[in-house]
Structure 1
Amino acid sequence: MSPQVRWKVCWENELELSDHTELADFFRKTYGPTGAYNALPFEGARSWSGARPELRVIGYDAHGVAAHMGLLRRFVRVGEVDLLVCELGLWGVRPDLEGYGINSMRIVYPVLQQLGVRFAFGGVRQALRNLVLRLCRNGLATVLEGVRVRSTLADVYLNLPPTRCENVILVVFPIGCSMSDWPSGTLIERNGPEL
């Protein structure tokens, strides 16, 4: 039986300290099992890892935060084309709810339409390929492989370059347009830290 999840869409500045604390705990428990390093950015009450979201879609059940997705409008460069997109990040479903079909995209999609962007995208690591393919089987999104995304690091370190380039699986959601309108190119310049 699918759990009862109630959804909340909120601007980042509407969150209280208690919300950040609860979300940080959610991310530690959700990302920690994939590797202790993945939970490190969420120490204390920090509920973001790189760039801060503009909007959040948060699902709650009787036990607290059940699911989360962050949204951030930004310009990216795909090949030679500058494009206003909404980056999707900080995706997560509480581990005890995985496999129940909890999907925030039915809530997120109308929000994306209101934001006035033509595309939303999210980059995921290769290890999540099968999960992403399963989530995209409804046809709302297209999975692009062989794409590199260049980003700045969230912090500057003396022993690391200020940018990184990753091979990711890109999930692209056309919003009120066709996927054929997505520019060609195998390099996306994020011009900022990952969400």
Structure 2
Amino acid sequence: MEPITLTTDRLLLRPFAPGDADAVHAACQDPDIQRWTVVPSPYGRADAEHFTRQLSPAGWQDDSMYDFAVVLRDGGALAGALGINRRTGPGTFEVGFWTAREHRGLGYTTEAVLCAARWTFTALAGDRLEWRAEAGNRPSRAVALRAGFRMEGGQRSGLVNKGVRRDTWTGALLPSDLGLPGTDTYLPAGVGRAGP
């Protein structure tokens, strides 16, 4: 897919560029980002360059993941990162994100997640956007809840982070949660069924 830029009132969600390596490297020095996300730890300058020059562009090129730099429209500072990844099964995607320490608590990440969710449901024909975070990552869960994700439970050994299997919290957002039509018909459990 050709990389695109999305906009909100306060943000630009644009593809990462090589020039973002310094800001990504600086943000990922935060122990919380290294603890709760799958970025390498320690996070070196070479990791930031690899991400901005190779990994992120490759995801757009092979249509497997769409990484966005979340940038403030006023001033251009990098507020965070957001990725939409294809999951197994048609129409299913997963969102992941981190927020630079100095931009937390201002609603930027929730705003970015909602913008990316609408794009996923319309441009990518998504019918389900999943969120997963390691159990205990309360800030990530708070963003997901504010964006309208419904918590669906947890998964034992649901992700691998730095070589360790960890339990996860899970949630999902559907097009109908945002007032959008889905690609496929959705029949919730117990609706429209006859018999026991």
Output the TM-score relative to the length of structure 2: 0.60
Q: Deviations over 1:86-105 (max 9, x none)?
A: 1212x111112211122212
Matched, 1:125 2:134: yes
1:74/1:85 contact within 8 Å kept: yes
Q: Distance in 1 between matches of 2:143 and 2:47?
A: 28
Q: 1:6 aligns with which of 5, 11, 29?
A: 11
Ranges in structure 1 where 5+ consecutive residues have no aligned partner: 76-81, 155-159, 182-195
Q: Deviations over 1:25-48 (max 9, x none)?
A: 32233745748x965263224245
Q: Name the counterpart of 1:85.
A: 92
Q: Secondary structure at the match of 2:142?
A: helix
Q: Secondary structure at the match of 1:28?
A: coil
Change (3 A) 1:139 1:106: closer
**Which of structures 1 and 2 has the bigger CA Rg?**
2
Q: 2:117 aligns with which of 99, 109, 123?
A: 109
Superposed displacement of residue 16, structure 1: 3.2
Change (3 A) 1:68 1:139: closer
Q: Name the counterpart of 1:67.
A: 80
2:40/2:47 contact within 8 Å kept: no
Q: Name the counterpart of 2:102.
A: 96
Matched, 1:143 2:151: yes
Q: Distance in 2 between matches of 1:66 and 1:99?
A: 11
Q: Name the counterpart of 2:44.
A: 43
Q: Deviations over 1:93-127 (max 9, x none)?
A: 11122111222123212221111221111211122
Q: Deviations over 1:63-88 (max 9, x none)?
A: 7211211111131xxxxxx5542121
Q: Distance in 1 between matches of 2:146 and 2:35?
A: 26
Q: Secondary structure at the match of 2:67?
A: strand
Q: Distance in 2 between matches of 1:173 and 1:66?
A: 23
Kindly report the root-mean-square deviation, in angstroms, between the aligned alpha carbons of the 2 structures: 3.6
Superposed displacement of residue 142, structure 1: 0.9
Q: Which has the higher helix share?
A: 2
Change (3 A) 1:5 1:46: farther
1:142/1:173 contact within 8 Å kept: yes
Change (3 A) 1:72 1:108: same
Q: Distance in 1 between matches of 2:71 and 2:167?
A: 33
Higher deviation after alignment, 15-24 or 114-123: 15-24
Q: Which has the higher strand share?
A: 1
Ranges in structure 2 where 5+ consecutive residues have no aligned partner: 1-8, 60-64, 176-180, 190-196
Structure with more relative contact order (C-alpha pairs < 8 Å, separation 6 or more) = 1
Output the TM-score relative to the length of structure 1: 0.61
Change (3 A) 1:30 1:83: farther
2:134/2:169 contact within 8 Å kept: yes
Give me the identity figure in percent: 10
